[in-house]
Amino acid sequence: MSAPRLYVDSADPEAAAPLLASSLVYGVTTNPTILDRAGRTAGEIPTLYETWAAAGAREIYFQAWGGAEDLLEQRARDILALGDLAVVKVPATRAGFAVGARLAREGAPVLLTAVTTPAQALAAVSVGIRYLAAYLGRMRDAGFDALTEIARMQAICAGTDTNVLAASLRTPEDAVALAEAGVPYVTAAPEILWGMLDHEATDAAAAAFEAADSVQ
């Protein structure tokens, strides 16, 4: 498995900044829904890119939109033109796949998103798309054995340059279970990522260190 990486799934610069500053996350992922949730619009994408680049992100993901292939491709190219840190997301529809495959052939960093089946993953691997986003929580809600299906996707990626970047996590333990299943990359909401660090037993131990006579 590639070395694990965490990403923050948020379009709120104030939520992402401390995670980038702490080095907990490698980069930032967004999509149109996440922009909505943060009260942002697509017109703000260039500003968000600059903000996160300045905050130390090593990859910054934005998603193309527009449904039809020509519009998706135009927007995908606009996203890639933001700079070297940009990764473009396209949905795993027929149109999104065609655009993603074309860009991947040119060597561009592409993530195929909303991948739901191992067959879709196989298609992405066959054209050298760099990342697949599979939605753990949403797949589980829909009745899939989501962890097993996502582990199958990652198994198809083995030995290739494609990897799963799992999304729609609901708990810190989801990140652990995905890593145990061989999935190297996950993106999650800020509170889930901070929750990976926080534990009351750790806080109690840290408080005891601070209270030790040796450091008074």
Binding site for ligand G3P (CB under 6 A): 9, 31, 33-34, 135, 137-138, 167-168
Q: Which is nearer to ligand G3P, 21 or 142 (CB)?
A: 142
For the CB of residue 125, give the shortest distance to ligand G3P in the complex, in Å. 20
CB of 35 to ligand G3P, least distance (A): 10
State the minimum distance, in angstroms, from the CB of residue 133 to ligand G3P: 7
Smallest distance, ligand G3P to C-beta of residue 30, A = 8
Q: Which residue's CB is nearer to ligand G3P, number 9 or number 12?
A: 9
Nearer to ligand G3P, 26 or 204 (CB): 26
99, HSE (Cβ side, Cα atoms, 13 Å): 29
Of 125, 149, 123, 129, nearest to 137 by C-alpha is 149
Q: Which is nearer to ligand G3P, 102 or 138 (CB)?
A: 138
* Least distance between ligand G3P and beta carbon 72 (Å): 18
Nearer to ligand G3P, 5 or 102 (CB): 5
